Amino acid sequence: MNSLQILLVKELRESWRSFKLIWIPIVFILLGVSDPLMNYYMEDILQAVGNMPEGIEIVGLALQPLDVLMASTGQFQLTGVIVIIAVFIGSISRERSNGTATLIYIRPVSATAIVMSKWLVSTLVAGVSALLGYAGSMYYTSILYGGISLQAGATIIGTYFVWLLFVMAVTVALSAAFSTGVAATIAIILIPIGGMIDSLLGSYWHISPWKLVNYGVMLTANDQLNDYYWKTLSITIAITVVILALGIWSARVNRSLTKV
């Protein structure tokens, strides 16, 4: 068994023992089912709460299935992404600070194996969580608002998984380069806040990793986005590879500076 396989087993065991493989999927499931249920029963909820002025009539919006999925995607993009960044941002930096990394450095383990094992396992946890979250969202959306084709569902989930590859590459690379606090700050600015900036100013450009997930949802109803979608997908994958390379380089540099 080579060093990468050994580290992958180690990371998977750590994720299981720390219950990351349990509670993070639960968070995404709750985020996924909240929008279809809340939007559908909003009128009943407001009437049950009471204290509404007399004569006020509540008119619900006629939401389409893709509208609901877009809302669930927004939940994943904000709350979900912040959760997984917070969980994995210290994956390498925390081991350096508490001395655990030294036990790895004295063994014939490459920086590539260290970074790739962290990235692959964190992406696996985030990907399974997102899959279950979308499954819950699509289940209630199909019941309450209308069916979603298998192709549309696969496109949305597959696109979001590519986005997670990018997010976790940024998270692990920053963890390899900086301390946990600095890495967390930069990651929050780059990913969630960067997404907000893109949503506000993104009309000036059409290709950006932050647009990928929305393109994945909208593509199922608008074929005119096909060109933008594939260009954005390609650029996101290319940037992910570059970020991983930078993360491996940073891990190698920090390893050389560590006194063993």
Global pTM value:
0.89
* Per-residue pLDDT at 109: 81
* Per-residue pLDDT at 259: 62
Domain boundaries, the chain: 3-257
What own/partner pairs with CB < 8 Å and gap ≥ 24 does 201-210 have? 207/231, 207/232, 207/235, 208/232, 209/163, 209/166, 209/235, 209/236, 209/239
Q: Specify the length of the chain in residues.
A: 260
* Per-residue pLDDT at 236: 95
Alpha-carbon gap, residue 120 to 89, rounded angstroms: 14
DSSP state at residue 206: S
* Per-residue pLDDT at 50: 58
pLDDT along the chain (260 residues), means of 10: 84 92 95 88 67 55 79 89 92 80 74 92 96 93 86 90 95 91 88 83 82 85 78 94 95 74
* Per-residue pLDDT at 242: 97
Buried b (16+ CB within 10 A) or exposed e, 194-230: bbeebeeeeeeeebbbbbbbbbbbbbbeeeebeebbe
